[in-house]
Amino acid sequence: MSIDALIADLTPILGPEGVLTGEQLASRQSGVWASQEIKASVIFRPSSTKELSQTLKSCNLFGQQVVVHGGLTGLVSGALTRSDDVVISTERLNQIEKISVDDRTMRLQAGVRLESAQVAAKKRGLMLPLDLGARGSCTLGGNAATNAGGHQVIRYGMMRESILGLEVVLADGTIIDSMNSMLKNNAGYDLKHLFIGSEGTLGIISRLILRLRPESLSQETALLACTDFSHVIALLNRFDRSLGGTLTAFEVMWKNFYQLVANSTPPLADKFPFYILMEALGNDPEVDRERFIRVISQAEEAGELADAVIVKSGAERDRLWQLRDGVDKIVDLGPSKVFDVSLPLSEMDQYVIEVKQRLKSALPKSLCFVFGHVGDGNLHLVCVPNQEELKAFREVEKAVYNPLANLRGSISGEHGIGLEKKDWLSISRTNDEIQLMRLLKTSLDPQGILNSGRIFD
């Protein structure tokens, strides 16, 4: 059956607002980067779970391949389209339905943007403990589908830990209402976990119930410089131990990343090998500040710190976080590849040295920037090959992924697999695990219409 017949079938259900074709697609992309142009010829935009269910049911009947679009900030090309795909976008599923202060929960539709949910929680004296650089564009549905990580994982865990309940629409249109709002519920399988991190391959997330926390009353932030990676590890342990459980972010930038993002006016001299952006959230401003300063002084006395700046204002804090989130400065350098690996902290320094050596011998003119959520054992490497070396991208992947095999590291700490990393999945998952994933996929989506080709073929 043709896509035209599917459009004719769904237009009366979704209305003109819910079906975009032709010229209406001119300004649309399949991802945040300009190169990710949209190739699909139609975008369906359901505005309710019922409409989403009817849309999927029709697509399934027509055997039509579907690609799900949230905020399009994913970094593994999971939302890329081909000309024979249709897109289902969650952009009209954008309502925050309820915030319960007593239960500390938020119920919302999947297309709500992360930043809108953060702001809404804050207005009620609560906090949604998920934060990442793409907060202004990414959606909660996309965050759940990718099990997003971000800056606060060390304290609050990944997106999975903030989800109490989900509503999901399966490929055949069946609505699975798993909208639990309790912390404890062991009544059989906890099905939400099947869909969290499944990258839209098992169902489309339509609504969520999120767990909120009390808004913190103090926020202490510092930028630290170190001369040795052993000091980075020592500092992480020290802060975890001595800050009374308030350590919330521990982000590390290697020297050349810091030099690039800090530009001409670095808050600390740009000569040190490692920079740490650390943050503690607490509830007793005076006590928290005094302890924060004391613990940093102790680290200095122990010789673990080469230099430090403790933030005194919100503007200073924003500036430091802008440095850490300044990945677009790398993208401006030319075609690049973003990696997102996980490995034991004790292996991290040696791993980075090895990757850089491998890259140097395979692609001598390439650049490699390293930073990441080191407190979570999660590193990002962004490799920028020289123009002449562009065709050797595969060599870059080998340099980054092959050393992980022996370390039992992960080829994806938080971004997922998408279309980009599936060739390397066997480094981090056993054959039996991959077979079981395939079994789940064929059970829930027998025709393979939903985000097919993502994670594995």
Give which of 435, 416, 438, 429 is closest to 68, Cα–Cα: 416
Identify the residue among 64, 143, 162, 248 touching ligand FAD (CB under 6 A).
Answer: 143
Distances (CA, A) of 204 to 29, 208, 299, 315: 20, 11, 47, 39
Report if residue 148 touches ligand FAD, rule: CB under 6 A: yes
49-57, 172-180, 199-207, 312-320 -> range binding ligand FAD (CB under 6 A):
199-207
Q: How far is the CB of 207 from ligand FAD (least distance, A)?
A: 9
Residue entry with tokens 């982000």 = 251
* Between 143 and 231, CB nearer to ligand FAD: 143
* Between 59 and 327, CB nearer to ligand FAD: 327
Q: Which two tokens stand for residue 50?
A: 């019922």
* Between 132 and 396, CB nearer to ligand FAD: 132
Q: How far is the CB of 40 from ligand FAD (least distance, A)?
A: 12
Report if residue 46 touches ligand FAD, rule: CB under 6 A: no
Identify the residue among 18, 46, 129, 142 touching ligand FAD (CB under 6 A).
Answer: 142
Distance CA 5, CA 346 (A): 57
DSSP state of 402: H
The number of angstroms, rounded, from the C-alpha of 10 to the middle of its chain's C-alpha atoms is 32
* Between 110 and 370, CB nearer to ligand FAD: 110
Contact indicator for 82, 453 with CB cutoff of 8 Å = no
Report if residue 79 touches ligand FAD, rule: CB under 6 A: yes
State the burial class of residue 288 (Cβ atoms within 10 Å of its Cβ: 0-12, 13-18, 19+): buried
Identify the residue among 43, 72, 163, 253 touching ligand FAD (CB under 6 A).
Answer: 72
Q: How far is the CB of 139 from ligand FAD (least distance, A)?
A: 4
* Between 113 and 211, CB nearer to ligand FAD: 113
Q: How far is the CB of 274 from ligand FAD (least distance, A)?
A: 19
- Contact string (CB under 6 A) for ligand FAD, positions 319-358, x = contact: --------x-------------------------------
Identify the residue among 19, 127, 138, 382 touching ligand FAD (CB under 6 A).
Answer: 138
Give which of 122, 201, 192, 200 is closest to 159, Cα–Cα: 192
Distance CA 419, CA 457 (A): 9
Identify the residue among 51, 199, 304, 395 touching ligand FAD (CB under 6 A).
Answer: 199
97-105, 197-205, 295-303, 358-366 -> range binding ligand FAD (CB under 6 A):
197-205
* Between 69 and 291, CB nearer to ligand FAD: 69
Report if residue 409 touches ligand FAD, rule: CB under 6 A: no
DSSP state of 146: T
Q: Which residue is nearest to ligand FAD (CB)?
A: 142
Residue entry with tokens 């928290």 = 288
Distance CA 66, CA 452 (A): 8
Distance CA 155, CA 394 (A): 35
State the burial class of residue 16 (Cβ atoms within 10 Å of its Cβ: 0-12, 13-18, 19+): exposed
Distances (CA, A) of 390 to 35, 382, 396, 402: 15, 14, 10, 20
Q: How far is the CB of 71 from ligand FAD (least distance, A)?
A: 3
Identify the residue among 28, 133, 256, 329 touching ligand FAD (CB under 6 A).
Answer: 133
Q: What three-state secondary structure class fits 214?
A: strand
Identify the residue among 19, 55, 59, 78 touching ligand FAD (CB under 6 A).
Answer: 78
Q: How far is the CB of 90 from ligand FAD (least distance, A)?
A: 5
Burial 322-355 (b: 16+ CB within 10 A, else e): ebbbbbeebeeeeebbbbbbbbeeebbbebbeeb
- Residues that contact ligand FAD, how many (by CB under 6 A): 37
Report if residue 110 touches ligand FAD, rule: CB under 6 A: yes
Distance CA 98, CA 88 (A): 25
Identify the residue among 10, 19, 20, 68 touching ligand FAD (CB under 6 A).
Answer: 68
> Which residue ranges make up the site for ligand FAD (CB under 6 A)?
32, 67-75, 78-79, 90, 110, 132-134, 138-139, 141-143, 145-146, 148-150, 199-200, 204-205, 327, 414-415, 418, 451, 454
